[in-house]
Structure 1
Amino acid sequence: MFRTGFRCIVANFVLGQRSMSQSSLAGQIAIVTASTDGIGLATAQALGQRGAHVVVSSRHQANVDRAVALLQSGNIDVTGTTCNVGKSEDREKLVQKTVERFGGVDILVSNAAVNPFFGNIMDSTEAVWDKILDVNVKSAFLLTKLVVPHMQKRGGGSVVFVSSVTGYQPVQTLGPYSVSKTALLGLTKALAPELAQSNIRVNCVAPGVIKTQFSMPEASYITGETITATGGMSCRL
């Protein structure tokens, strides 16, 4: 139930409308990273159900194939590709395949994240920080940088970063991961005013605990904001 509500929040951000029933994404082209399970898959499904052409991705081909088959069974126009967002060649392939298949990019939902470390933050290593920041933060920016020219050609677009409640209230055993999610809040604020000049909105969602393997605003006027979906958990930064 929580996952369904969360995907509606993401979809409404993208749609720029008051409610799902009032809007359509027909003809829009959406990339959703880490989208073969959990939040990413639910988001891809929500966008596809509103008429968007959807591109899903994950690191493993078998997962991509399974997600594509599932979405196609719901009459969603979807394609998929393997993509490790931490690798520049994979990011470029993802965008290139999207443009070749559908003709452009209107929507980016940056959902991919890793957490290779559990424990006291003082025990974390440089390698841990490099991995977490590369995937959770740098890739989100670099993917945005890749899709913005395509959005500009189509007159605008929407970027949504998936942060976390831990970006507001770090979890003791998830220190580096929590910091990376805080960084996405700042990235949203930094990008929004600059990209607004190109009619591209940049927003962020910060979910609480959602059952995944890893663990309704008027959106047309919203950019640079983070919406929390935390089941009542206190969030302040």
Structure 2
Amino acid sequence: MTPNPFNLAGQVAVITGSSRGIGRASAELLAQLGAKVVISSRKAEACEEVANGIRAHGGEAHVIPCNISRRAEVDALIEGAVKQYGQVDILVCNAAVNPYYGPLLDISDEAFDKIMASNVKSNLWLCAKAIPPMAARGKGSVIIVSSIGGLRGSTVIGAYGISKAADFALCRSLAGEWGP
């Protein structure tokens, strides 16, 4: 019998925005594949629900609430994962916000700044904390979840699309810098 090429036993995965949607599905799948997962979103109760479900199915999960728009909380997320499990092997940058729907020329500076800070800058912060130790060990994986909105124009979620296009560029640049 061939071993499962997707066996993540012994790996530690941090997933932002993992209390629902794509993040939750990612955390559950990574746990099914054997990874120890760190569940994270703004609300601890929602994270605990996901973690309890993972534990009920034999997985290992730890909760660290984090608002990705706050640098100190982002730092605490990665530092807490390392304190709990010793290292981070997989980082899934999934959390994002979209507080504005409407034409780009009507968006307030505050809403635009919130979208860019939460959806792009936070991913840079997360990567800055997680990638150097991965590189020092010679292995690790970073997944930055983007959107078709980063490739297509929209009349109502243009700023969100801009942030997701920036995530594509962030991912390509980090791969160029750290991939080798």
TM-score using structure 1 length: 0.73
Deviation string, structure 1 residues 130-189 (Cα, Å, up to 9, x no partner): 100000000011100011122134321111110001111122100100100011111111
The 2-side partners of 1:131 and 1:159 are apart by 23
Equivalent residue runs for 1:105-184 within 5 Å: 105-184=88-167
Q: Point out where structure 1 has 5 or more consecutive residues left out of the alignment.
A: 1-19, 198-237
The 1-side partners of 2:71 and 2:6 are apart by 34
The 2-side partners of 1:82 and 1:22 are apart by 31
Shift of 1:46: 0.8
Identity of aligned residues (%): 38
- Residue equivalent to 2:33: 50
Equivalent residue runs for 1:63-142 within 5 Å: 63-142=46-125
Secondary structure of the residue aligned to 1:104 is coil
- Residue equivalent to 2:24: 41
Deviation string, structure 1 residues 182-210 (Cα, Å, up to 9, x no partner): 1111111111011113xxxxxxxxxxxxx
Shift of 1:21: 4.4
The 2-side partners of 1:100 and 1:123 are apart by 44
Matched-pair contact (CA < 8 Å) for 1:84–1:91? yes
Deviation string, structure 1 residues 6-50 (Cα, Å, up to 9, x no partner): xxxxxxxxxxxxxx9432111111100000111000001111111
* Consecutive aligned runs of 4 or more in structure 1 exceeding 3 Å deviation: none
Give the aligned residue type for 1:173: V
Matched-pair contact (CA < 8 Å) for 1:105–1:151? yes
The 2-side partners of 1:74 and 1:154 are apart by 30
Matched-pair contact (CA < 8 Å) for 2:135–2:178? no
The 1-side partners of 2:5 and 2:86 are apart by 26
Shift of 1:106: 0.7
Give the aligned residue type for 1:119: G
Matched-pair contact (CA < 8 Å) for 1:114–1:135? yes
Q: Point out where structure 2 has 5 or more consecutive residues left out of the alignment.
A: none
Q: CA RMSD in A?
A: 1.3
The 1-side partners of 2:5 and 2:172 are apart by 28
- Residue equivalent to 1:190: 173
Secondary structure of the residue aligned to 1:22 is coil
Matched-pair contact (CA < 8 Å) for 2:19–2:50? yes
Deviation string, structure 1 residues 77-121 (Cα, Å, up to 9, x no partner): 110111001101101110111001110011100001000001111
The 2-side partners of 1:39 and 1:170 are apart by 22
Q: Count the aligned residue pairs.
A: 178
